Amino acid sequence: MTANFGELFDLLARFDLAAAHVPGYLKHADFGQSEAFYDFNTGVIALRRTPAVAEFVANWRELHERWSKVQPFPMTALDQAAFRCALWKSSLSPYVLGSEYNYRTIFSGRLVGAAKIIHGRSKDYEKLAAHINTRVGPRIFDAFPPGREW
């Protein structure tokens, strides 16, 4: 975290949950959802406390546990595929966060505003955040591989 992100909770007055897409907008090879309904990164999620959201989380967990025992298709991010599948089957209203709220440093990425949540591996998050947020506005970064001075 590089800054206050309380505005994420403001989203929950209108949406049931908020999460960012997976870098590269992957969609695993399961069936039943639109090809345009990409995987979400499950590292940063804002959730409204409602019975419908609790049911979604229970369904996500059950699906993840079932797929962990017997994978129905080749996948690398089991939690993300199960999240997307459970969300598709729910009636929840999701909001897709910009990368400023889940900036993945191990992938090339794009930012417009200041990165508020950095998701990666760093030796010095303050230094990395200062570098990434030197300026705001549209900008693109190469991946920041683990082990660098950041």
At 26, the pLDDT band (50, 70, 90 cuts) reads: low
What distance, in Å, lies between the first and last C-alpha atoms of the chain?
15
Q: Closest Cα partner for 99 from 62, 44, 144, 33?
A: 44
Interacting residues of 46 by C-beta distance below 8 A, sequence separation 6+: 8, 9, 11, 12, 17, 18, 19
> 81 and 121 share a domain?
no
> 12 and 66 share a domain?
yes
* Per-residue tokens: 135: 């300026």
E-state strands within the chain = 17-21, 40-47, 94-97, 103-104, 109-111, 118-119, 139-141
Between 22-31, 88-97, 139-148, the lowest mean confidence (pLDDT) is in 22-31
| pLDDT value at residue 149 | 63
For residue 39, give its domain range: 7-97
| pLDDT value at residue 147 | 65
Tell me the percentage of the chain whose pLDDT exceeds 90.
57
Examine residue 18 and state whether it is found in any structural domain, yes or no: yes
**Angle CA(111)–CA(117)–CA(122) in degrees, nearest 5?**
95
What is the spatial distance between Cα 29 and Cα 50, in angstroms, rounded to a whole number? 30
- DSSP bridge pairs for 110: 140
> 25 and 89 share a domain?
yes
Helix (H, G, I), strand (E, B), or coil: what is residue 21? strand
Examine residue 149 and state whether it is found in any structural domain, yes or no: no
> 25 and 53 share a domain?
yes
The widest CA-to-CA distance across the chain, in whole angstroms, is 47
Average pLDDT in the 87-112 region? 93
Q: Closest Cα partner for 53 from 102, 91, 82?
A: 91
- Decide if pLDDT at 25 tops 70: no
